[in-house]
Amino acid sequence: MTKLSVNINKIATLRNSRGGDLPNVVDAARNAERFGAQGITVHPRPDERHIRYQDVYDLKKVITTEFNIEGNPIDRFIDLVLDVVPTQVTLVPDAVDALTSNGGWDTIAHKAFLTDVIARFKAKGIRTSIFIDARPEMIPAAAEAGADRVELYTEPYASMYGKDREAAIAPFVATAEEALRYGLGVNGGHDLNLENLHYFAERIPQLAEVSIGHALISDALYLGLENTIQLYLKQLKID
Protein backbone atom coordinates (compact mmCIF):
# COMPACT_ATOMS: atom_id res chain seq x y z
CA MET A 1 0.00 0.00 0.00
CA THR A 2 1.09 3.57 -0.65
CA LYS A 3 2.74 5.06 2.44
CA LEU A 4 1.39 8.21 4.06
CA SER A 5 4.04 10.69 5.17
CA VAL A 6 2.60 13.52 7.26
CA ASN A 7 4.13 16.93 6.66
CA ILE A 8 4.21 18.77 10.00
CA ASN A 9 5.25 22.21 8.71
CA LYS A 10 1.86 23.67 9.63
CA ILE A 11 2.31 22.56 13.24
CA ALA A 12 5.50 24.60 13.32
CA THR A 13 3.75 27.56 11.67
CA LEU A 14 1.19 27.61 14.46
CA ARG A 15 3.91 27.37 17.11
CA ASN A 16 5.94 30.17 15.56
CA SER A 17 2.93 32.48 15.32
CA ARG A 18 2.81 32.80 19.11
CA GLY A 19 6.36 32.04 20.18
CA GLY A 20 7.19 29.43 22.77
CA ASP A 21 6.80 25.74 22.07
CA LEU A 22 3.07 25.12 21.75
CA PRO A 23 2.22 23.04 19.80
CA ASN A 24 5.37 20.98 20.06
CA VAL A 25 6.50 19.57 16.70
CA VAL A 26 8.23 16.55 18.25
CA ASP A 27 5.06 15.58 20.09
CA ALA A 28 3.09 16.09 16.89
CA ALA A 29 5.40 13.75 14.98
CA ARG A 30 5.24 11.11 17.71
CA ASN A 31 1.45 11.26 17.74
CA ALA A 32 1.21 11.13 13.96
CA GLU A 33 3.28 7.93 13.98
CA ARG A 34 1.25 6.52 16.86
CA PHE A 35 -1.94 7.20 14.91
CA GLY A 36 -0.69 5.33 11.82
CA ALA A 37 1.49 7.67 9.75
CA GLN A 38 4.22 5.72 7.98
CA GLY A 39 6.53 8.71 7.65
CA ILE A 40 7.14 12.28 8.74
CA THR A 41 8.02 15.05 6.29
CA VAL A 42 9.53 18.45 7.02
CA HIS A 43 10.48 21.26 4.66
CA PRO A 44 12.85 23.70 6.36
CA ARG A 45 13.26 26.97 4.49
CA PRO A 46 16.12 29.47 4.82
CA ASP A 47 14.02 31.92 6.86
CA GLU A 48 12.83 29.12 9.18
CA ARG A 49 9.30 30.52 9.06
CA HIS A 50 7.87 27.15 10.03
CA ILE A 51 10.18 24.17 10.57
CA ARG A 52 13.46 25.32 12.09
CA TYR A 53 16.77 23.63 11.44
CA GLN A 54 16.96 22.68 15.12
CA ASP A 55 13.57 20.97 14.78
CA VAL A 56 15.10 18.64 12.20
CA TYR A 57 17.77 17.53 14.66
CA ASP A 58 15.19 17.09 17.43
CA LEU A 59 12.90 15.06 15.19
CA LYS A 60 15.69 12.77 14.01
CA LYS A 61 16.10 11.54 17.61
CA VAL A 62 12.49 10.34 17.94
CA ILE A 63 11.09 9.40 14.54
CA THR A 64 10.72 5.64 14.18
CA THR A 65 9.16 5.55 10.70
CA GLU A 66 10.61 7.13 7.55
CA PHE A 67 11.98 10.66 7.86
CA ASN A 68 11.74 12.77 4.69
CA ILE A 69 13.43 16.18 4.48
CA GLU A 70 12.35 18.40 1.58
CA GLY A 71 14.03 21.53 0.36
CA ASN A 72 16.08 23.48 -2.11
CA PRO A 73 19.63 22.09 -1.99
CA ILE A 74 21.42 25.28 -1.03
CA ASP A 75 24.64 24.76 0.92
CA ARG A 76 23.02 25.04 4.37
CA PHE A 77 20.32 22.54 3.44
CA ILE A 78 22.84 20.08 2.03
CA ASP A 79 24.91 20.30 5.21
CA LEU A 80 21.80 19.72 7.34
CA VAL A 81 20.73 16.62 5.42
CA LEU A 82 24.23 15.13 5.39
CA ASP A 83 24.45 15.64 9.14
CA VAL A 84 21.00 14.29 10.01
CA VAL A 85 20.94 11.43 7.45
CA PRO A 86 17.18 10.99 6.99
CA THR A 87 15.56 8.09 5.18
CA GLN A 88 14.86 10.29 2.17
CA VAL A 89 15.71 13.73 0.86
CA THR A 90 13.38 15.37 -1.64
CA LEU A 91 14.97 18.08 -3.77
CA VAL A 92 12.60 20.99 -4.42
CA PRO A 93 13.54 24.06 -6.51
CA ASP A 94 11.91 26.61 -4.22
CA ALA A 95 12.79 30.25 -4.56
CA VAL A 96 13.89 31.75 -1.24
CA ASP A 97 10.71 33.87 -1.06
CA ALA A 98 8.29 31.15 -2.24
CA LEU A 99 5.17 30.91 -0.07
CA THR A 100 4.94 27.20 -0.88
CA SER A 101 6.29 24.82 -3.50
CA ASN A 102 5.04 25.93 -6.90
CA GLY A 103 6.83 23.87 -9.50
CA GLY A 104 9.26 21.06 -10.18
CA TRP A 105 12.80 20.81 -11.49
CA ASP A 106 13.75 21.07 -15.12
CA THR A 107 15.93 18.00 -14.80
CA ILE A 108 17.39 18.48 -18.27
CA ALA A 109 18.64 22.02 -17.67
CA HIS A 110 19.85 21.24 -14.14
CA LYS A 111 21.07 17.68 -14.64
CA ALA A 112 24.73 18.42 -13.87
CA PHE A 113 23.85 20.19 -10.62
CA LEU A 114 21.40 17.49 -9.55
CA THR A 115 23.91 14.75 -10.36
CA ASP A 116 26.49 16.32 -8.06
CA VAL A 117 24.06 16.89 -5.19
CA ILE A 118 22.48 13.45 -5.44
CA ALA A 119 25.88 11.75 -5.42
CA ARG A 120 26.68 13.45 -2.11
CA PHE A 121 23.44 12.25 -0.53
CA LYS A 122 23.66 8.73 -1.88
CA ALA A 123 27.22 8.41 -0.55
CA LYS A 124 25.61 8.71 2.90
CA GLY A 125 22.97 6.10 2.09
CA ILE A 126 20.12 8.62 1.79
CA ARG A 127 17.33 7.81 -0.67
CA THR A 128 16.93 10.71 -3.10
CA SER A 129 13.80 12.02 -4.76
CA ILE A 130 13.45 14.88 -7.27
CA PHE A 131 10.32 17.04 -7.20
CA ILE A 132 9.07 17.34 -10.80
CA ASP A 133 6.06 18.47 -12.79
CA ALA A 134 4.00 15.83 -14.55
CA ARG A 135 6.11 15.88 -17.70
CA PRO A 136 7.41 12.50 -18.94
CA GLU A 137 10.32 14.18 -20.70
CA MET A 138 11.81 15.06 -17.29
CA ILE A 139 12.25 11.40 -16.35
CA PRO A 140 15.33 10.32 -18.35
CA ALA A 141 17.49 13.12 -16.97
CA ALA A 142 16.24 12.41 -13.43
CA ALA A 143 17.34 8.81 -13.79
CA GLU A 144 20.67 9.82 -15.32
CA ALA A 145 21.26 12.21 -12.40
CA GLY A 146 21.09 9.22 -10.06
CA ALA A 147 17.72 9.78 -8.37
CA ASP A 148 15.98 6.89 -6.67
CA ARG A 149 12.52 8.41 -6.99
CA VAL A 150 10.60 11.35 -8.35
CA GLU A 151 7.87 13.19 -6.49
CA LEU A 152 5.07 14.40 -8.75
CA TYR A 153 3.96 17.98 -8.04
CA THR A 154 0.22 17.39 -7.75
CA GLU A 155 -1.22 20.92 -7.42
CA PRO A 156 -2.31 21.00 -11.11
CA TYR A 157 -4.11 17.67 -10.61
CA ALA A 158 -5.84 18.95 -7.48
CA SER A 159 -6.91 22.19 -9.18
CA MET A 160 -8.45 20.37 -12.15
CA TYR A 161 -9.86 17.38 -10.29
CA GLY A 162 -13.33 18.83 -9.74
CA LYS A 163 -13.72 19.80 -13.41
CA ASP A 164 -12.35 16.77 -15.25
CA ARG A 165 -10.52 14.19 -13.21
CA GLU A 166 -9.67 12.04 -16.22
CA ALA A 167 -7.90 14.93 -17.93
CA ALA A 168 -6.35 15.95 -14.62
CA ILE A 169 -4.76 12.57 -13.94
CA ALA A 170 -3.60 11.77 -17.49
CA PRO A 171 -0.19 13.50 -17.46
CA PHE A 172 0.54 12.08 -14.02
CA VAL A 173 -0.14 8.54 -15.16
CA ALA A 174 2.06 9.05 -18.21
CA THR A 175 4.90 10.47 -16.11
CA ALA A 176 4.63 7.72 -13.51
CA GLU A 177 4.70 5.03 -16.20
CA GLU A 178 7.81 6.62 -17.71
CA ALA A 179 9.44 6.74 -14.27
CA LEU A 180 8.79 3.05 -13.73
CA ARG A 181 10.29 2.26 -17.14
CA TYR A 182 13.47 3.98 -15.98
CA GLY A 183 13.50 2.15 -12.67
CA LEU A 184 12.46 5.13 -10.54
CA GLY A 185 10.04 5.00 -7.64
CA VAL A 186 7.08 7.41 -7.67
CA ASN A 187 5.94 9.70 -4.85
CA GLY A 188 3.32 12.43 -4.93
CA GLY A 189 2.48 15.56 -3.03
CA HIS A 190 0.95 19.03 -2.88
CA ASP A 191 -2.75 19.81 -2.41
CA LEU A 192 -3.78 16.18 -2.13
CA ASN A 193 -6.76 15.85 0.21
CA LEU A 194 -9.62 13.59 1.26
CA GLU A 195 -11.57 14.42 -1.90
CA ASN A 196 -8.92 13.73 -4.54
CA LEU A 197 -6.46 11.34 -2.90
CA HIS A 198 -8.15 8.00 -3.53
CA TYR A 199 -8.50 8.54 -7.26
CA PHE A 200 -4.87 9.62 -7.50
CA ALA A 201 -3.66 6.56 -5.60
CA GLU A 202 -5.92 4.32 -7.65
CA ARG A 203 -4.67 5.58 -11.00
CA ILE A 204 -0.95 6.11 -10.41
CA PRO A 205 0.86 2.79 -10.91
CA GLN A 206 3.00 1.60 -7.99
CA LEU A 207 2.65 4.85 -6.06
CA ALA A 208 5.19 4.50 -3.25
CA GLU A 209 4.40 7.47 -1.01
CA VAL A 210 2.34 10.61 -0.66
CA SER A 211 3.40 13.54 1.49
CA ILE A 212 0.47 15.57 2.82
CA GLY A 213 0.52 18.48 5.21
CA HIS A 214 -1.75 21.48 4.69
CA ALA A 215 -5.01 19.63 4.01
CA LEU A 216 -4.37 16.93 6.59
CA ILE A 217 -3.53 19.35 9.40
CA SER A 218 -6.51 21.53 8.44
CA ASP A 219 -8.83 18.52 8.58
CA ALA A 220 -7.36 17.58 11.95
CA LEU A 221 -8.61 20.88 13.43
CA TYR A 222 -12.17 19.60 12.96
CA LEU A 223 -11.78 15.83 12.99
CA GLY A 224 -8.87 15.25 15.35
CA LEU A 225 -5.41 14.10 14.29
CA GLU A 226 -5.94 10.39 14.92
CA ASN A 227 -9.23 10.22 13.04
CA THR A 228 -7.84 12.33 10.19
CA ILE A 229 -4.79 10.14 9.67
CA GLN A 230 -7.00 7.05 9.62
CA LEU A 231 -9.25 8.68 7.02
CA TYR A 232 -6.27 9.47 4.80
CA LEU A 233 -4.94 5.94 5.17
CA LYS A 234 -8.35 4.65 4.14
CA GLN A 235 -8.19 6.71 0.94
CA LEU A 236 -4.90 5.00 0.08
CA LYS A 237 -6.38 1.51 0.25
CA ILE A 238 -6.96 0.23 -3.27
CA ASP A 239 -9.16 -2.79 -3.89
pLDDT per residue over 113-152, tens digit each?
A: 999 999 999 999 999 999 999 999 999 999 999 999 999 9
The pLDDT of residue 239: 77
Residue 110 designated active-site: no
The pLDDT of residue 114: 98
Span 176-226, pLDDT tens digits: 999 999 999 999 999 999 999 999 999 999 999 999 999 999 999 999 999
Taking each helix axis from N to C end, the angle separating 25-34 and 9-18, rounded to the nearest 10 degrees, works out to 150
On average, the pLDDT of the chain sits at 96
Instruction: Over range 6-17, report the average pLDDT.
Output: 97
Which of 33, 66, 70, 151 is catalytic? The answer is 70
Instruction: Over range 10-23, report the average pLDDT.
Output: 96
Contacts of 8 (CB under 8 A, 6+ apart): 25, 28, 29, 32, 40, 41, 42, 51, 213, 217
Residue 177 designated active-site: no
The pLDDT of residue 158: 98
The pLDDT of residue 95: 64
Which of 50, 66, 178, 190 is catalytic? The answer is 190
Which of 43, 151, 178, 209 is catalytic? The answer is 43
